[in-house]
């Protein structure tokens, strides 16, 4: 019987949120394990082919560490092409 081999591959989604509140006041901290599992299932279903599982560790990256990626995403969202 042949053994199944699985590989864990890191991936990233880059996005940003817009708020008029402090960052700490904008982020939910009461997510349940069930809600996180639903989000993982949705990402797996919409981003990957059948049979791929997704594991998430939600976090917010400080803007100074993600500035370039956020600017590129902003161009895509608001249609400002280079």
H helices within the chain, ranges in order?
A: 23-26, 33-47, 63-78
Boundaries of domain holding 34: 1-82
What's the pLDDT score for residue 81? 53
What's the pLDDT score for residue 38? 96
What span, in angstroms and rounded, lies between the C-alpha atoms of 8 and 13? 16
What span, in angstroms and rounded, lies between the C-alpha atoms of 45 and 38? 10
Q: 42, 54 in Cβ contact below 8 A?
A: no
Cα→Cα distances 2→5, 6, Å: 9, 13
Segment-wise mean pLDDT, segments of 10 residues, the chain, 82 residues? 84 82 88 92 96 85 71 69 50
Q: 81, 23 in Cβ contact below 8 A?
A: no
> pTM for the whole thing?
0.64
Domain count, the chain: 1
What's the pLDDT score for residue 35? 94
């Amino acid at each position: 019987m042949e053994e199944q081999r699985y590989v864990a591959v890191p991936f990233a989604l880059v996005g940003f949120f817009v708020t008029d509140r402090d960052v700490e006041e904008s982020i939910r901290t009461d997510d349940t394990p069930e809600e996180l599992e639903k989000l993982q299932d949705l990402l797996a279903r919409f981003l990957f082919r059948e049979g791929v599982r997704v594991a998430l560790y939600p976090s917010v990256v400080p803007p100074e560490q993600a500035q370039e990626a956020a600017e590129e995403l902003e161009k895509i969202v608001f249609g400002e092409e280079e």
